[in-house]
Amino acid sequence: MTDFAATKARFHLPEGVIYLDGNSLGPLPHGAMERARRTIESEWGEMLIRAWNLAGWMDQPRRVGERIAPLIGAEPGTVATGDTLSIKMYQALAAALSMRPDRRIVLSDDGNFPTDLYMAKGLIESLDRGHVLKAVAPEAVEDAIDESVAALMLTHVDYGSGRMHDMARLTEKAHRAGALAIWDLAHSAGAVTVDLAGCEADFAAGCTYKYLNGGPGAPAFIYVRPGLIDEVRPALSGWLGHEAPFDFALGYAPAKGIARMRVGTPPVVQMSILEAALEIWDGIDMGQVRARSIELTELFIREVEARCPALRLASPRDPAMRGSQVSFRFEHGYAAMQALIAQGVIGDFRAPDRMRFGFAPLYIDEGDVRRAVDVLARVLADRAWDRPEYSRREAVT
Ligand SMILES: Cc1ncc(COP(=O)(O)O)c(C=O)c1O
């Protein structure tokens, strides 16, 4: 069994804070601090340029990908890290559209995280070949998959509500219609069990600053199904995705395998932090993390509904349909979240009225959940949120 008390001890959690926002930015792992110092002082400081070889910087995007692969059910050698999730989604979609040249529909849902839709629209405009982005209601996705669809592009776990799509079922339906399936795993990696290989997903991408605790601005990852990768013509054909970057050839030739999804120079310090953060996952079974996450979200929903009648559940009630986060609607949700944060319980807010709470079993336990609800119930009962400073919108909500 996973020792969750031991994993919790591996994080720096500020005194007096209950952190329910690891679905936005995971907390600092102790090992990450140490590793960043080593990268900066001993590698950059002492080795200088030689560190690309001596400290293995050049191979880091592959090494880190190998650590992420088992957490998302990916085969070895199928995950590369780098860039941002927006860029990785662009790469995946560009590759998928070039593999289905006779089809014009990109199918998504209207609850998707906006950047995925923005990137798709930007790509469609650049291609200028008459593609159409069709974003239907999440429940209508399955019925909308037909033979006009080139790519099904979905976020597995909805950022706002935590609603989870059935990856296996939708991927299979996409394949039966001859379409490719692309999954955004931002709220899935490290949060729920994902079986990319078992589902035969074609492409997937995710970020590492949420449940994987890679720190602010941590690089993204991309997965391509092994049977497909040699067909991929990278749209972002940067030099580090070239088969021999240091030949400095004028013509582009893609690297073998997933390395062709690399673009340019990786963020080495940030990658090192991520690499250290991923060590916490060694030997951890995602099935046990998922079971624990369900216990925590169920407890939270039960307690909030019993003690905070003003809040309305905005997440699926069935845990099988829900990721590792829970949202509640409240008319004064923004102000209430600010009041809650002022009292040491950190969640976040998603427009128009959702208070969002993430549960990461690696460092959140039942006692945290109970204490968080105590504070929330008090904030609501005392109308502690009803102060002008709590209604002033910050840039990041
Ligand atoms: C589902 C989803 N996709 C994409 C993104 C954006 O990723 P990035 O800013 O790393 O490009 C986010 C950010 O939170 C997200 O939640």
For residues 326-355, give the mean pLDDT: 96
Average pLDDT, the chain: 97
115 C-alpha vs ligand 1 centroid, how far in Å?
Answer: 7
- Residues 181/170, Cβ–Cβ less than 8 Å: yes
CA of 290: how far to CAs of 4, 71, 295, 322, in Å?
12, 11, 9, 11
Q: In the structure, which protein residues have their CB atom closer than 6 angstroms to any atom of ligand 1?
A: 84-86, 113, 115-116, 155, 159, 184, 186-187, 207, 220
190 C-alpha vs ligand 1 centroid, how far in Å?
Answer: 15
β-bridge partners, 223: 79, 204
For residues 272-280, give the mean pLDDT: 98
Active-site residue, 210 included: yes
CA nearest neighbour of 330 among 350, 312, 305: 312
pLDDT reading at 216 higher than 90: yes
For residues 206-225, give the mean pLDDT: 98
DSSP 8-state symbol, 242? B
Band of residue 15 on the pLDDT scale cut at 50, 70, 90: very high
Alpha-carbon span 162 to 319, nearest angstrom: 10
Where are the alpha helices (H) located in the chain, listed in sequence order?
4-8, 30-38, 51-54, 60-68, 85-99, 114-127, 141-144, 167-176, 196-199, 268-279, 286-307, 333-342, 366-381, 388-391
Alpha-carbon span 83 to 161, nearest angstrom: 26
Band of residue 397 on the pLDDT scale cut at 50, 70, 90: confident
Nearest CA to ligand 1 atom 8: 85
Active-site residue, 184 included: yes
Identify the three-state secondary structure at position 24: coil
Of 19, 209, 328, 330, the active-site residue reads 209
pLDDT attached to residue 392: 86
The atom of ligand 1 lying closest to the CA of 157 is 1
Band of residue 396 on the pLDDT scale cut at 50, 70, 90: confident
207 C-alpha vs ligand 1 centroid, how far in Å?
Answer: 7
For 355-392, how does the pLDDT look when each residue is reduced to its tens digit (9 = 90+)? 999 999 999 999 999 999 999 999 999 999 999 999 88
Of 356, 357, 359, 363, the active-site residue reads 356
The atom of ligand 1 lying closest to the CA of 207 is 10
- Residues 13/19, Cβ–Cβ less than 8 Å: yes
- Residues 237/252, Cβ–Cβ less than 8 Å: yes
Band of residue 176 on the pLDDT scale cut at 50, 70, 90: very high
For 181-196, how does the pLDDT look when each residue is reduced to its tens digit (9 = 90+)? 999 999 999 999 999 9
Pairing relation of β-strands 149-155 and 11-12? unpaired
- Residues 243/253, Cβ–Cβ less than 8 Å: yes
- Residues 325/356, Cβ–Cβ less than 8 Å: yes
Alpha-carbon span 224 to 201, nearest angstrom: 8
For residues 252-257, give the mean pLDDT: 98
Reported residue count of the chain is 397
CA triple 25-305-346, angle to 5 deg: 20
pLDDT attached to residue 306: 98
Nearest CA to ligand 1 atom 7: 85
Contacts 24+ apart (CB under 8 A), 376-379: 376/304, 376/307, 376/308, 376/340, 376/345, 377/307, 377/308, 378/343, 379/336, 379/339, 379/340, 379/343
For 22-46, how does the pLDDT look when each residue is reduced to its tens digit (9 = 90+)? 999 999 999 999 999 999 999 999 9
- Residues 60/79, Cβ–Cβ less than 8 Å: no
For residues 124-129, give the mean pLDDT: 98
34 C-alpha vs ligand 1 centroid, how far in Å?
Answer: 27
pLDDT attached to residue 394: 85
The two tokens of residue 194 are 């994902």
pLDDT attached to residue 393: 86
Of 100, 113, 307, 329, the active-site residue reads 113
pLDDT attached to residue 395: 82
